[in-house]
Each structure stands twice: as structure tokens, then as C-alpha cells.
Amino acid sequence: MIKNQTASPFSYDVLILGSGAAGLSLALNLNPQLNVAVLSKSQLNEGSTWYAQGGIAAVLDDNDSIESHVTDTLNAGGGLCHKDAVEFTVSHSTQAIQWLIDLGVNFTRKPSSGDFHLTREGGHSQRRIIHSADATGRALHTTLIEKVEAAPNIKLYDHFIALDLISQPDPSSKKLRCTGAYVYNRNTDSVDTFAAKTVVLATGGASKVYLYSSNPDGASGDGIAMAWRAGCRVANMEFNQFHPTCLFNPKAKSFLITEAVRGEGGKLRLPNGERFMDRFHKLGELAPRDVVARAIDHEMKRLGSDCVYLDISHKTPEFIASHFPTVKQKCLSYGIDITKEAIPVVPAAHYTCGGVVVDKSGQTDLSNLYAIGETSFTGLHGANRMASNSLLECVVYAQSAANAIESSINAIAPHTAIAGWDATRVTNSDEDVVISHNWDELRRFMWDYVGIVRTQKRLERADHRIKLLKKEINEYYSNYKVGNDLIELRNLAVVAELIIRSAMRRKESRGLHYSLDYPNLAEVARDTILVPDNFASQDIIVHQN
């Protein structure tokens, strides 16, 4: 699908794929002299950031400390957190929050003192979650969008979805380097070529690989799949966090009930009203998310129940209205008054703890390619992400990546001419039902076989199916014109295979990976690192004309 080499009409210093907290924070931290493009696969506010409710974890209280936040994160991570990454992130947390405050993010304050209100969530030993009521993501994202739109050096493109990364030999090192991306323009139904000195993947996670997810539709693992195809390692893809409390209602779609509801005293109950979390963990409802999700899954299967219930109705209506206005309003739209009754909830795929292997600057194995946010694997989350550390990671690594890019970008040699996209040998498909069928099949067997509780037999079944499905999808991709659904399906198939391969390698139960065949911890905690056949850090042979 490549045609003659031509100059790209879209050429930038920095190309950022993704318009969530990570991508926009990076754009704003870059030198305003740099020419920056930010691509969003849908509307700017359709990413996971916009829908994040809980808040951002940071050391902001005199009674808190970096050591305490680090310890809590390590405890939640099941022995797989990289301590240096945790310390790096937490030690920059106060500065990151101050940057957001200076931008104008409207965090909630205490009416009595005017100080910022801090809440507590599962796994945290202190109140350290700064928030904007129960819609922190929206407040954060709104501010970032406003600032980016006002920046003269940043160009925003909406409804653009990246297909694949472009790499070329580096004249100095003779290794590959990233020089741009092929991008499907949904506005014109065509493929454009974007050239850049540096490319940043900030495309979010891959939770749409599962049938039930709290994420918006765009969380299809695009950046992870593209990086893997480009020769980058991925790590710990078996650790998929299931949010314990997603609203269970046939008309609701991907609406999660924030962790803060349990942090402020919400109780999980069986259909008969009985509490059950004390039987699973000493912290009860404040146990880490993987424990809560497995407990709910266990009780639902034991009872044959469609859901369990989260009850905050013992709090005053005024407290609920001030702390959880978004949750209250959303539930009311489905006829549920949370001031008087419990909320029906189920677990749903929520966060991808693994991702593209990076260093503390977000640099991947491919030169001039960075990955930040949920797309990346920094070592912060280990086997289980602690609540509200994710938005913090986005901002901290956006700032460190910006520093690294600024220090190196002037030394990057100009790229050679880039081959354009050729669609002359493909046709329009009259069988889009194939895409929808494969999409549904993939997400269903991932939910059934690679979900909250796993067995080797289930993983083997999933492995068999994904191989057949990938072959069918790749054949379809080679013969028909690309579109949004086909691009996402192709990426989801790659991500599904990475998750399955990673899960099959882990012969233990740790954090978010729970196997009935291997219920115990291994003696040594090790990351699962997958290396592609075209590993980007290998030396390459450059043929001279």
C-alpha cells in the first residue's frame, strides 16, 4: 500500500497521537518555538481523560509524605512496581499538581478553609486525592483543551486515526528511527502522511478488547499495536484492571461509579442487602481494586446474580449532592435515586497496566518515538494500578518527555522522502458484517477466556481463536479500503494476542492476573516482556544505491 516517495504536506517538529491528559500536557510543556501537531481520533473530549471521575493522587497534605505514597503504590503493585519509577513519579507529584493549578484547573476546595479538599481511595493510607467534585477528568481536560487551542504553535486535528508508524534508517547510527505516521482522515475518507522529527504515542489503553468496559469506544490499543508492529517491546499486558463498580443498566454505556464513593463510606451489598467485602479483605470496601473486582465476580457467579449493589444512601442527601453530583445525576437519568437506594454495579475492563516499554523520558525502543500515559509501560503500576495514580503518571511523564524532546530535537537529522499511501489495489467492501462479527467475537472470547479469573485451558482456547481471527482480519485489511472500524479491529487483534501470550507465560497469580491453575505467588516477581521479531533496537543493514 505504498506509492512513490513524495514530500509530506503535513510536516512537524513533534507529532502527538492522542488528545487526552498525556498528549495535551506534553504539547503544553514543549518549547513554544516547536511546531506541534496533536491528532485526536474523534472529538477532542472523547478520550478516557474526559470521563475520569475520581481524581489525581499526590503528596499535598502535611500529614502525608513521599515515602507513604511510594509504599502504598508498591503494596498495591503486587511486587512488580519498579521502585525507581514509583519514586520518580511520586516525587514529581506536588510540582505536577501545581502546574495544573497554575493552568487554572478548578479543583474542589473546603468551604470552611478554602484549602483543597482531599479524598481517600482504595489502597491509599492517606487522603491524598485532589479532585474536582466527581468529574476531575472533565475539569482537567477542559482546561488543557482551552490552553492548547490558544497556543499558536499547536495544530489540532480531530477525527484522524493513525494507521501505522513510519520508520527510516538513521544516518548516524544505522538503526531505525521514527519519522512520522500514516493517518486515516475520517473527514475525507483518505490516508494522509504525517512527517515529524519526533512522534509521541499518547493513545490510551486497550480496554475495548473486552466485552464490558468502562472506557469510551476509542480505547482500542492503537498505540500499543502500532509500536509492536514497528519493533518495540511491550510488557505486562496480562495485567488488565477491571473497575469493580460500573453501573449495571441495559440502557447505560460505560459509566463507572467512581472509587471515591467507596472512599467516602459506600458499602457493597448482595441482592439481599448483606455486606460481603469484609470476608475477602481486612480493608473491606477500601481493598485494592483487583481484590474488590474478584470478590464481586465470585459473589455474582456463586449466586447467579447479574450484579451487586453499592450503597451510599446512609449519607445525607446534601453530602451526596456535593461530593457526587455527576454520579447522582447519571443514576437519576436511569431512575435510580442514590440518596435512597443502592446502585447496581458490575466489574468492567478499565485500565491497561502494561504497554510499550519506555524509560523515564517516555523513550521507546525505536529512536525518536515516545510513549506516555496508559499506552506506556513505565513500571509505575506493577501488577495492579493504585487508584488515581494514572492521571499523575500522564502529567509527570508528559513533562519528562517534553524535556527529553527539547534537548535532542535540534540534533535530529532531516528525514528522507517518505513513501505515500497507495490505495489503488484495494476495493470498497460490501461485507462490513465481517468486521462487526469479528469485533464481537474477539471481545466475547476475551471476556469469557481472558477475564477476571483465568485458566490455562481458557487461555489456550483464546490463543487458538486469536490466531484464526488475526489471519482473517489481515487478509481483509490487505484487500479492502481502510476505515475506522477495520483499523481498530486490526489493532484490537494485535493487543488481544499480546494479552493472551503474556497471560500464558505467567505461571502464578499476582495482582490483576488470577489463575485457578496457579493460585499462588511465584518466589520471584518478574515482568513479562515480549520482544517482536523486528525488534527496533537491533542493528540494521542499510543498502547503498
- Residues designated as active site: 289
For residue 115, with 0-12 CB atoms within 10 Å meaning exposed, 13-18 middle and 19 or more buried, which class applies?
A: exposed
Q: Three cell numbers at 197?
A: 522529527
**What is the number of alpha carbons within 13 Å of residue 504 lying toward its C-beta?**
16
Q: Three cell numbers at 528?
A: 513479562
List beta partners, residue 52: none
Identity of the residue numbered 476 = Y
Cβ contact 391:47 at 8 Å: no
Helix H or strand E encompassing 101: helix 93-103
DSSP state of 342: P
DSSP assignment of 462-517: HHHHHHHHHHHHHHHHHHB---HHHHHHHHHHHHHHHHHHHHHH--S-BTTB-BSS
SS3 content of the chain, % helix, strand, coil (to 5): 35, 20, 40
Phi then psi for 219, rounded to 5 degrees?
A: -80, 65
Distance CA 430, CA 357 (A): 39
Distance CA 66, CA 78 (A): 19
